[in-house]
Amino acid sequence: MCGIAGILTISKENYNFHKILKEISHPIRRRGPDNYGAWSDGRIIGMAHQRLSVIDLSSFSNQPMISKTKNFVISYNGEIYNYLDLKKELLKNGVKFFTTSDTEVLINACEYWGVEKTLNKIEGMFSFALWNNEQKKLYLARDRIGEKPLYWSKQGKHFYFGSQV
């Protein structure tokens, strides 16, 4: 079981996002002993991920994961059951993969088909935060049943999200 955490802000202040991410991701440390990762654009968004390696054990599948085009960044918790079928479909359309992880399939699917179509295609238990650099847009999603938790809170100019309160 992995854990995700993050912050989106409209404040004009300069923040040490990595320090903030360490603090807000403290509650998710127990959710994944294999890796802690953090990413920030340095201005308005930061994401953290605590990893429990299951499908692809390599460090290339650590998160937050950045897409090949650098347009998308994802922090994801869960399992996409049909990721191999989706991967085959994406490969037929020329999408290249560097890992065997369902995370890379998910981020490539969002980039290739768009978030809404990808959500209609995927089957599994999941929650994720996906940042679109080009549009400066954050997507938060979880599986239809809500098996994987996703909480959020708006506090002043800050929007926080994560696997735990």
150 and 140 in contact (C-beta within 8 Å)?
A: yes
Out of 2, 20, 65, 110, pick the active-site residue: 2
In the residue annotation, 110 being an active-site residue is answered as no
119 and 103 in contact (C-beta within 8 Å)?
A: no
Long-range CB pairs of 96-104 (<8 Å, 24+ gap) are 96/68, 98/60, 99/56, 99/58, 99/60, 99/61, 100/55, 100/56, 100/61, 101/55, 101/56, 101/60, 101/61, 102/55, 103/56, 103/61, 103/63, 103/65, 103/74, 103/76, 104/61, 104/65
DSSP H or E segment with residue 27: none
Name the DSSP letter for residue 111: H
User: Which residues does the annotation mark as catalytic?
Assistant: 2
